[in-house]
Chain A
Amino acid sequence: MAFDFEKFQRFGPAAFVLKAILAAVAADVILLGCILLRRGYRRWYFARRDARVIEIRQQWDALIRGEIPFEAWRNNRRDCQIVESMALDAFELAGSAESAQILKFLRTSGLIAKCTFEARRHQGWRRREALVALGRTRAPEAIPPLTEALRDRDAETRLAALRGLERMACPEAAKGILNWISESGLTVPALPVQSALIQCCAERPQILISHLQHTEGPVRELLARVLGEVATPVLQTSLLQFVDDELPELRAAAARALSQSQPQIAMASLTELSQDPIWFVRLRAIVSLGELRNPSAVSILLRGLTDSKRLVRVRAAEALLKIGSDHAAMFEEVVALNDRYGLDAFLTAIDNAGLVGTIQQELSQRPPSARKDALLEILTAKSLPTAGLMPELAASAKAASAL
């Protein structure tokens, strides 16, 4: 061992350590130099940039009106970047008249054409940056380069293109996305596609229906979820065909979308869906029943309070509060269910809505009776009596369960 250590000291490591020290010191100096250079450069760069931004801002109106020749700034890379970012920021904040003027400027100055060129020519982050800028313009001519980028090999670029199309929020962009997913399936995570389609299909949700009929698997599930978000009363007859669909996502979407329909059309389907074996379909149906605010839904919602899933019970309780104005009577019906989970969900809902005091007051105003006292006690104790319900309430409970 002693020999090894000697050898180690004299030959290999000692020389190596010396070199390593020199290398480390050199690295320290280089790193320090980088920090100082970077600081200095940034200071110089931003001072010049800020000064230029102020100059451009002073001439902004003339620039937008096209009174300053585009060549004055377009051939200078820094100026062009400044004008582009200022125009896009202004476009996002502008009202309709001003935005039309800025869009015209973006077109005539060639900024959209420049972004389109960059989106087609570049790769990687430069392409993504151009795609984001194109999305921000919301100009229809930006849709083709954005849809082309959906077929890029890089997943991040595809996501940038999707976000760009999402910004467009128009049926043409939706068509581009729908064609792409029909062609190549889901090559990006579902959520960004869903988000983009929700924005783009909001105006014309009908375009989803034909795709729903011709796709299958995860794409169909995704389109179903989109449909659930964007459905309008216009679609109500188309939606009814999905109430019996084998895909639970589609049934849930139909349930959700039916909240936008006429109660007389939606009630029968929602009643059926509220008893679906899949819990999230029941949940959607219960929430939709609450949205419809139809008094005939009370009995279905009371049944929802006894559901095996906590979330369904909680939503059923919230839906009941949306429908009924006589909260004390509603409370009485909930107690009559004799279901402590259902009661717990309802009490939570009234607590969250700040209605405990109101119910207490409404009950107190009733003529004195054992029933009234029992209800007040349950409301205060926030649980059913351990000895069981009093006979009168128990009778109501039986009636409720028979219902």
Chain B
Amino acid sequence: MIQFLEFSNLALFYYYLCCNTAYLIMLMAALHTSIKHQHRLKSLETSWIKLSPLTPPITILMPARNEEKSISIAVKNLLTLDYSELELIVINDGSSDRTLELLRQEFRLRPVKAVYVAEALSAPVRQLYRSDVVPNLLVIDKDSGGSKADAVNAGLNAATSPYICVIDADSVLERDALLRIMAPVLADPNRVIAVGGIVRVLNGSELEGGRMRRVRLPRKSIEILQVIEYLRAFLIGREAWAGKNMLLIISGAFGVFRTDLVRAIGGYRSHAIGEDIDLVTRLHRYMRDKGQEYEIRFVPDPVCWTEAPSDLASLRSQRSRWQKGLLDVLWPQRDMLFRPRYGRIGCFALPYLWIFELFAPVIEVGGILTIILAACAGMLSHEFFLQFLLFGYAFATVISIGSVLLEELTYKRYNDWQDVIRLVSYCFLEHFPYRQLQMLWRLQGMWQYLRGDIAWGVLQRVGLQSAVVKQE
């Protein structure tokens, strides 16, 4: 027992060391990539993309389930986007609220018979609608398939453009987001098969006429902590992985994919819980199996603002779902691990996800328990424990502040001094007890998945309506 406790404490130390070192390396890589990207932006003029006759059309797919509080604003936001040729497809995924009714009223929908080829698996479609006021808007009313993937597949079946862009119904895009996200595609359409944009927390900011009017930090602590998480995940994680073409996650809230390839792999896995990571992993597999040259890119300047959970119960539900989704993706793809055929994806990206993302809650919660046990058994060096704690805390803080610095150096969305000061202060506060709570939720998610509970869970939404500025 004593030997086990000693071993586990030692293992925990090395695990933290490796984890933080990996983050540090990613921070350095992200800093380098971000600065390069900033220079690249100096010679990018989005108006060229807009005016070019060869800019490909995009179909925007927006799955919506019980989104009555957001749907009108979200669709209006899409109408304000700067892009030459857009097709908008809203998929009403068996909503039990007034989502479809609001769409009908707002956009004067009429039933139509549009092209719908059921190539990707999806629950039955009830009716297709076109708008009398927005000619490029198509609404698909379908039975609920129990997952977002199922709804997106229905949209994919009706899409007619060479690229699809998947957007959540509780999100809004900045006006030039599509032009910016398409820049890597236009520079090399044969190689670049998917591009992810940055997703940021909308809570606290103000919308007007479907557009972002003023960016502010949210008021609630739980929301600010998520802002830091998002910055870290996107500006450090995604940027670093994408720099080496090892990106495995393009957020489900905002990403562009080549339609033919998504169709070639059978669309989204209809019951996937983490449909975003599942799709990207399968795209990597498909391209590597085919032996084709490809790139999956991340660009940090096209911004999608999304509503983050604002209460503990919703956050818990979301995080446990993410963990379920991760397990649901990694397990079926386990044969890619360490196989030379899958190159750096199999040798670095997937093992990283297994060790530092999937197993993190097991190792961390287990580690905390063994430390407590060791302390009870009187074999814990208090001096060393304190040092270890301080080390972990200080190191993790470096990564969080690093992500805020990256934001400052590059995209500077928070203009208010107060916001920056609050953001930095929360970098010191997020490591206790928020991190531990998260680990527990994620552990719970894994347990639920192993027991066969794959339900999405209910998120309480305030809705985009709450961010709209009232006109005088």
Instruction: Spell out A's residues near B (CB within 8 Å).
Output: 1-2, 4-5, 8-9, 13-14, 17-18, 20-21, 24-25, 27-28, 31-32, 34-35, 38-39, 42, 124-125, 128-129, 131-132, 156, 159-160, 163, 166-167, 189-192, 194-195, 198, 229, 310, 314, 344, 347-348, 351-352, 382
B420 contacts A14, CB within 8 Å?
no
Residues of B within 8 A of A160 (CB): 43
A189 contacts B188, CB within 8 Å?
yes
Closest to A125 in B: B39
Question: Among the listed A17, A42, A192, which residue makes an inter-chain contact with B388, where contact means beta carbons less than 8 Å apart?
Answer: A17
Residues of A within 8 A of B338 (CB): none
B387 contacts A17, CB within 8 Å?
yes
B2 contacts A2, CB within 8 Å?
yes
B10 contacts A5, CB within 8 Å?
yes
Residues of B within 8 A of A2 (CB): 2-3, 6
How long is the Cα–Cα vector from A13 to B391 in the complex, in angstroms? 11
Residues of A within 8 A of B48 (CB): 163, 166-167
Q: Least Cβ distance of A125 to chain B in Å? A: 4
Residues of A within 8 A of B130 (CB): 351-352
Q: Least Cβ distance of B403 to chain A in Å? A: 10
Q: Tell which of B113-121, B311-319, B451-459, B463-471 binds the partner.
A: B113-121
Beyond A39-B417, A132-B45, is A156–B40 a contact (Cβ under 8 Å)? yes
B115 contacts A189, CB within 8 Å?
no
Residues of A within 8 A of B45 (CB): 132, 163
Query: Is B394 part of the binding interface, using a Cβ–Cβ cutoff of 8 Å?
Result: yes
How long is the Cα–Cα vector from A27 to B383 in the complex, in angstroms? 23
How long is the Cα–Cα vector from A177 to B182 in the complex, in angstroms? 24
Q: Least Cβ distance of B22 to chain A in Å? A: 15
A28 contacts B397, CB within 8 Å?
yes
A352 contacts B112, CB within 8 Å?
yes
How long is the Cα–Cα vector from A2 to B130 in the complex, in angstroms? 72
B112 contacts A31, CB within 8 Å?
no
Hey, what's the 0/1 contact readout for B371-388 against A, CB within 8 Å counting as 1? 000000000010110011
Beyond A35-B405, A189-B190, is A24–B394 a contact (Cβ under 8 Å)? yes
Beyond A21-B387, A39-B420, is A195–B53 a contact (Cβ under 8 Å)? yes
B391 contacts A39, CB within 8 Å?
no
A8 contacts B10, CB within 8 Å?
yes
Instruction: Spell out B's residues near A (CB within 8 Å).
Output: 2-3, 6-7, 9-10, 13, 39-40, 42-43, 45, 48, 52-54, 112-115, 117, 130, 186-191, 381, 383-384, 387-388, 390-391, 394-395, 397-398, 401-402, 404-405, 408-409, 412, 417, 420, 424
Residues of A within 8 A of B190 (CB): 189-190
Residues of B within 8 A of A14 (CB): 383-384, 387
Question: Among the listed A24, A34, A35, A347, which residue makes an inter-chain contact with B420, where contact means beta carbons less than 8 Å apart?
Answer: A35
How long is the Cα–Cα vector from A198 to B191 in the complex, in angstroms? 22
How long is the Cα–Cα vector from A317 to B219 in the complex, in angstroms? 55
How long is the Cα–Cα vector from A45 to B373 in the complex, in angstroms? 56
Residues of B within 8 A of A229 (CB): 53
How long is the Cα–Cα vector from A47 to B386 in the complex, in angstroms? 47
Residues of B within 8 A of A35 (CB): 401, 404-405, 408, 420, 424
How long is the Cα–Cα vector from A125 to B45 in the complex, in angstroms? 14
Closest to A24 in B: B394
Q: Least Cβ distance of B161 to chain A in Å? A: 12
- Lowest 3 A-B CB distances belong to which pairs? A24-B394, A125-B39, A128-B43
How long is the Cα–Cα vector from A379 to B194 in the complex, in angstroms? 41
B187 contacts A192, CB within 8 Å?
yes
Residues of B within 8 A of A9 (CB): 381, 384
Beyond A35-B401, A39-B420, A189-B189, is A382–B53 a contact (Cβ under 8 Å)? no
Residues of B within 8 A of A192 (CB): 186-187
B401 contacts A32, CB within 8 Å?
yes
Q: Least Cβ distance of A338 to chain B in Å? A: 19
Closest to A225 in B: B54
Residues of B within 8 A of A24 (CB): 391, 394-395, 397-398
Q: Least Cβ distance of A13 to chain B in Å? A: 7
How long is the Cα–Cα vector from A351 to B132 in the complex, in angstroms? 12
Closest to B111 in A: A351
A347 contacts B391, CB within 8 Å?
no
A131 contacts B6, CB within 8 Å?
no
How long is the Cα–Cα vector from A194 to B56 in the complex, in angstroms? 13
A-B contact pairs, 29 of them (CB 8 A): A2-B6, A4-B10, A5-B6, A17-B391, A18-B387, A24-B395, A24-B397, A24-B398, A28-B397, A28-B401, A31-B401, A32-B401, A34-B405, A35-B404, A35-B408, A124-B39, A125-B42, A128-B40, A128-B43, A129-B42, A131-B43, A189-B188, A190-B190, A192-B187, A195-B53, A229-B53, A348-B115, A352-B112, A352-B130
Residues of A within 8 A of B395 (CB): 20, 24
Q: Least Cβ distance of B109 to chain A in Å? A: 13
Q: Least Cβ distance of A398 to chain B in Å? A: 27
Q: Least Cβ distance of B384 to chain A in Å? A: 5
A191 contacts B381, CB within 8 Å?
no
Question: Among the listed B2, B187, B404, which residue makes an inter-chain contact with A159, where contact means beta carbons less than 8 Å apart?
Answer: B187
Residues of B within 8 A of A1 (CB): 3, 6-7
How long is the Cα–Cα vector from A347 to B112 in the complex, in angstroms? 9
Residues of B within 8 A of A5 (CB): 6, 9-10
Closest to A14 in B: B384
Question: Among the listed A190, A195, A344, A351, which residue makes an inter-chain contact with B112, where contact means beta carbons less than 8 Å apart?
Answer: A351
Closest to B13 in A: A13
Residues of A within 8 A of B409 (CB): 38
B189 contacts A310, CB within 8 Å?
no
Q: Least Cβ distance of B260 to chain A in Å? A: 12
Q: Least Cβ distance of B340 to chain A in Å? A: 28
B390 contacts A21, CB within 8 Å?
yes
Residues of B within 8 A of A8 (CB): 10
Beyond the given pairs A4-B10, A189-B190, 7 more chain A to chain B contacts, judged by CB atoms under 8 angstroms and listed by A's residue number, are A1-B3, A14-B384, A18-B387, A128-B39, A191-B189, A229-B53, A351-B130
A198 contacts B54, CB within 8 Å?
yes
How long is the Cα–Cα vector from A124 to B13 in the complex, in angstroms? 43
